[in-house]
């Protein structure tokens, strides 16, 4: 099958590398607004073509992978589904709640599969957490703790267009929380601080976060985030039940240091980047997309899932700014009112 990749930046280049090694992928066409980037990416793959976005659509691919900036996701997804082409799009689905709602409605008007790039759904640890929880192997879920910490901050130009820490980064936690537990979030209380570069505060963003979420069944969840985690790239999820617990990300490379005498766990080199931590998950999600294009499986993460994760990110952003607990019902209701306007 023939695949187009739109956007040959950080994640796009990784997807080019992954896609070309997958069974079922016979040809690639790479398009980027910056034609030199598209050409350079195509040069890494034998026989890959490159060109403009219009030429990519005219090439009549079987599937499209969108790895362009968030600001153009909405228009590219709509163009792809209107052309009847199965689409994979990086998270988040769109820049705002209003445009996300519009894209979801447009996608659902067409019988064209769309998969959103929440790769944690394809990470072996999260897959096992979901399975063991559903099987009741550690009793009834009562508490969870999640962490997503970057070792170094993103560049200054990325922050103002990122949507902020909750929509850009913690949206991964919100999506995987729903997927692992099968629960919805009822309420959020979020706080954050500015301890790093001034460009975070200048954009109304934060670089450290702490959040409390309550799920519909009463399970309590704490979440921490940082753009300055000197120890390494730290992504974990701890689940505590009435008969035991499970932890995702507790491996030899987790960036933790024990103070206990004689304990040398973890002994590996700490994870340094999201690319290395999730290499296998990125491969699995694109392998799954190939089967979606083939018509063998449905998309594991749909635009509606992306909308649900964004509702939680909106609630967290509002909670932080207004210093109060925000019910998800409030965010859903105001989104519906805005969409009617």
Ligand X SMILES: NC(=O)c1ccc[n+]([C@@H]2O[C@H](COP(=O)([O-])OP(=O)(O)OC[C@H]3O[C@@H](n4cnc5c(N)ncnc54)[C@H](O)[C@@H]3O)[C@@H](O)[C@H]2O)c1
Stretch that binds ligand X, among 6-14, 79-87, 291-299, 314-322 (CB under 6 A): 6-14
Distance of CA 290 to the CA centre of its chain: 19
Q: Among all chains, which residue has been given the structure tokens 């976060």?
A: 209
Quick check: 9 binds ligand X (CB under 6 A)? yes
- Gyration radius of the chain over CA positions: 20
Closest contact distance (angstroms) between CB of 320 and ligand X is: 20
Residue nearest to ligand X (CB): 9
Give φ, ψ of 91 to 5 degrees: -75, 160
Q: What track of x and - describes contact with ligand X for positions 251 through 280 (by CB under 6 A)? A: -----------------------x------
Q: Which is nearer to ligand X, 50 or 326 (CB)?
A: 50
Separation CA 293–CA 87 (nearest Å): 8
Q: Which is nearer to ligand X, 80 or 213 (CB)?
A: 80
Residue 248 pairs in a beta bridge with: 237
When binding is defined by CB under 6 A, the residue of 16, 19, 30, 37 that contacts ligand X is 37
Separation CA 38–CA 216 (nearest Å): 46
Quick check: 151 binds ligand X (CB under 6 A)? no
Q: What track of x and - describes contact with ligand X for positions 211 through 250 (by CB under 6 A)? A: ----------------------------------------
Closest contact distance (angstroms) between CB of 237 and ligand X is: 16
Q: Which is nearer to ligand X, 50 or 133 (CB)?
A: 50
Which residue in 323, 66, 301 sits closest to 193, CA to CA?
323
Which residue in 14, 8, 127 sits closest to 69, CA to CA?
8
Quick check: 8 binds ligand X (CB under 6 A)? yes
Q: Which is nearer to ligand X, 225 or 241 (CB)?
A: 225
38-77 residues near ligand X, rule: CB under 6 A? 53, 67-70, 72
Separation CA 142–CA 150 (nearest Å): 27
Closest contact distance (angstroms) between CB of 131 and ligand X is: 22
Separation CA 299–CA 316 (nearest Å): 27
Closest contact distance (angstroms) between CB of 83 and ligand X is: 15
Quick check: 121 binds ligand X (CB under 6 A)? no
Distances (CA, A) of 294 to 88, 116, 187, 213, 287: 13, 17, 39, 38, 11
Q: Which is nearer to ligand X, 72 or 231 (CB)?
A: 72
Which residue in 25, 29, 64 sits closest to 49, CA to CA?
29
Separation CA 121–CA 115 (nearest Å): 12
Q: Which is nearer to ligand X, 52 or 296 (CB)?
A: 52
295-314 residues near ligand X, rule: CB under 6 A? none
- 288 three-state secondary structure: helix
Q: Which is nearer to ligand X, 160 or 327 (CB)?
A: 160
Would you say 90 and 31 are in contact if contact means Cβ atoms under 8 Å apart?
A: no
When binding is defined by CB under 6 A, the residue of 31, 114, 292, 326 that contacts ligand X is 31
Per-residue tokens: 218: 């009463």
Q: What track of x and - describes contact with ligand X for positions 72 through 91 (by CB under 6 A)? A: x-----------------xx
Separation CA 92–CA 100 (nearest Å): 9
Give φ, ψ of 167 to 5 degrees: -80, -30
Binding positions for ligand X, rule: CB under 6 A: 6-12, 31-34, 37, 53, 67-70, 72, 90-91, 117, 119, 274
């Amino acid at each position: 099958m023939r695949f187009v990749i739109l956007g040959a930046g950080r994640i796009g280049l990784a997807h080019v590398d992954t896609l070309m090694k997958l069974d079922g992928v016979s040809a690639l066409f790479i398009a980027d607004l910056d034609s030199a980037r598209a050409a350079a990416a195509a040069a890494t793959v034998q026989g890959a073509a490159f060109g403009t976005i219009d030429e990519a659509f005219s090439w009549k691919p079987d599937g499209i992978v969108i790895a362009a900036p968030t600001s153009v996701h909405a228009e590219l997804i709509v163009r792809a589904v209107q052309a009847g082409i199965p689409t994979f799009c990086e998270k988040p689905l769109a820049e705002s709640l209003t445009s996300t709602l519009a894209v979801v409605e447009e996608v659902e008007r067409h019988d064209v599969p769309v998969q959103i790039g929440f790769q944690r759904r394809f990470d072996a640890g999260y897959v096992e957490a979901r399975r063991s929880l559903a099987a009741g192997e550690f009793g009834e879920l009562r508490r969870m703790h999640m962490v997503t910490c970057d070792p170094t901050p993103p560049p200054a130009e990325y922050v103002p267009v990122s949507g902020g820490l909750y929509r850009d980064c913690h949206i991964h936690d919100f999506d995987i929380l729903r997927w692992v537990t099968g629960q919805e979030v009822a309420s959020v209380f979020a706080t954050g601080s500015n301890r790093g570069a001034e460009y975070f505060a200048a954009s109304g963003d934060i670089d450290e976060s702490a959040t409390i979420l309550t799920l519909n069944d009463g399970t309590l969840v704490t979440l921490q985030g940082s753009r300055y985690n000197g120890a390494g790239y730290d992504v974990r999820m701890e689940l505590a039940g009435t008969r035991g617990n499970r932890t995702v990300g507790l491996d030899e490379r987790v960036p933790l240091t024990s103070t206990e005498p004689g304990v040398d766990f973890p002994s590996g080199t700490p994870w340094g980047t999201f690319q290395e931590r999730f290499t296998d998950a990125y491969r699995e999600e694109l392998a799954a997309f190939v089967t979606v294009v083939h018509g063998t499986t449905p998309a594991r993460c749909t635009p509606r899932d992306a909308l649900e994760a964004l509702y939680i990110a909106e609630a967290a952003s509002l909670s932080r700014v207004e210093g109060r607990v925000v019910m998800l019902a409030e965010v859903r209701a105001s989104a519906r009112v805005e969409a009617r306007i």
